[in-house]
Amino acid sequence: MATKSKRSIKWLIGISIALAALLLPKFASDYGIHIAIISLFYVLMSSSWNLVAGFTGQVSFAHAAFAAIGAYASSLMAIHYNLPIPLTIVFGTCIAGTLGHVLGRLCLPLGGTYLSLVTLSFAEILRIVITNEDQWTRGTMGLQVPGIFRDYSKTKYYLLFLAITVFAVLGLNLLIRSRMGLRFRAVMDDEIAAASVGVHTTNIRVLAFTLSSLIAGLAGALYGHYAMLISPDIGSLAQMFLILAMTMIGGLGSIEGPIFGAILLEVLSEQIRSFGEYHLLVFGVISLLIVRFAPQGLAGLLRRQRWKLF
């Protein structure tokens, strides 16, 4: 009986959130919709990073770099070949996924610290290339990018981001709950035991890394065509650490954690804009406190109160 009523409450909360999300453009100001769009971008970024770090135990520092690859690949195709934007977004996503697969194949067998070091180097190399190849990318001067819609409408962008984010998060949830998800966790929990029962640990990790890069590329491409301007900042380490903080604060290894973390930190960062670069310091302190006092993040805290959304 108690379980039934709890399930009803969960459904009620779920429907309320869905309704609030759909109706948000009706009530929020343009600025509110803008924050919501950026929050959804970060939900995509942190949820996909969580797939690698939270479910296969591999820490990659190249996630923001894959968003940059998606953003620049899509933008350059749109600018130089005048192709339809949806097609260039697909192209940018595929390029990020392919490069993610190649990098994963090369580095994932190394594992652990080596993977972190290689991905860190990859991200920095990419930043230098984007900055210096300014005849193509305009470097730090910023590349003007065409928008997706002919008539600029924040509501349209919001609904597009919302649809893609819901699709991606539900897809990730299904994946984690599938037999493949079980293999992901097996690889993370005990690599040798997983291998002994026939799980190809490297292939599993490469798959997670490729999917994660693919989603980051998609998020980056969408972001570029929304912001209509991209610079090497999109793939910077500061961006990477922000995604890391969002996932840690929200709850690494859970589906709902990165969603909480991304929305909370994006909203918080708008509140503390005047802190300038110091806002990362604030996030760092929050992350430290969360790791120390609530290692499962916000999702863990809610779960302790038996509020599990997924």
Q: How many residues bind another protein (CB under 8 A)?
A: 41
Our finding on whether 293 is near another protein (CB under 8 A) is no
CA distance linking residue 300 with residue 282, whole number of Å: 21
Closest CA to 33 of 42, 23, 43: 23
Binding letters toward another protein, positions 152-191, x by CB under 8 A: x---------------------------------------
Q: Cβ neighbours of residue 175 under 8 Å, at least 6 residues apart? A: 51, 181, 211
Cβ closest to another protein, residue 219 vs residue 234:
234
Are the C-beta atoms of 212 and 48 separated by less than 8 Å?
A: yes
**Cβ 164 to another protein, closest distance in Å?**
20
Q: Contact with another protein (CB under 8 A): which of 1, 4, 30, 196?
A: 30
Q: Contact with another protein (CB under 8 A): which of 21, 32, 166, 286?
A: 32
**Cβ 227 to another protein, closest distance in Å?**
7
Cβ closest to another protein, residue 175 vs residue 228:
228
**Cβ 33 to another protein, closest distance in Å?**
8
Q: Which stretch binds another protein (CB under 8 A): 44-52, 180-188, 249-257, 264-272?
A: 264-272
CA distance linking residue 184 with residue 65, whole number of Å: 23
Are the C-beta atoms of 245 and 265 separated by less than 8 Å?
A: yes
**Cβ 2 to another protein, closest distance in Å?**
19
Region 214-233 residues binding another protein, contact defined as CB under 8 A: 227-231, 233
**Cβ 233 to another protein, closest distance in Å?**
5
Our finding on whether 300 is near another protein (CB under 8 A) is no
Q: Which stretch binds another protein (CB under 8 A): 76-84, 133-141, 164-172, 212-220?
A: 133-141
The residue ranges that bind another protein (CB under 8 A) are 24, 27-36, 132, 134, 139-142, 144, 152, 227-231, 233-234, 260, 263-264, 267, 270-271, 273-274, 276-277, 298, 301-302, 305, 307
